[in-house]
Amino acid sequence: MMSRMLSKLTIFALATTLSLTGCGRRSSSAHDMELLTGTPWKYEKAGFDSDEDGVFDALDPTIAGGDKDNTIIFRTDGTGSLVESKVKDKSSEAKSLPFIWSFQNNDSTIYFQNQYYKVQALTNKRLEIYADQKLGEIRTRYIIVLKH
């Protein structure tokens, strides 16, 4: 069940992940667009926070392993690419997986592959997003942190 949720595109979609939200949240889509699309991202960490206390209860082993070196590129036209690292693939050519994305709700939400994720932080160095999900009867929050 967890492996289905942890597919590369789902993990990335959560990815991606944006300064802390709250009363001071920026409303400038142009600024957020520039922050998101200006430079490719890499995973810092990803995992579950079941009690929503801001501490990871379990790190995603996929991201902690080889996927951590993947590069995530957001483009201004709403497309993007997840570029697998050459190290993981051990081939001379990196593989690229396309995706679509969009900001929603004054940039407080990002949409990927038929799911919405809340933007926790988006700065020139950090992207943090999360999605609340239900695994059977268990409710959990999956968080992805990306960095430059």
Of 86, 88, 119, give the one whose Cα is nearest residue 102.
119
Per-residue pLDDT of the chain (148 residues; tens, 9 = 90+): 444 344 444 444 444 433 333 333 444 489 999 999 999 999 999 999 988 898 999 998 888 777 788 999 999 999 999 998 865 555 566 689 999 999 999 999 998 767 899 999 999 999 999 999 887 888 999 999 999 8
CATH assignment of 2-147?
Answer: 2.40.128
pTM over 0.95, yes/no? no
Pairwise CA distance, residues 96 & 83, whole Å: 4
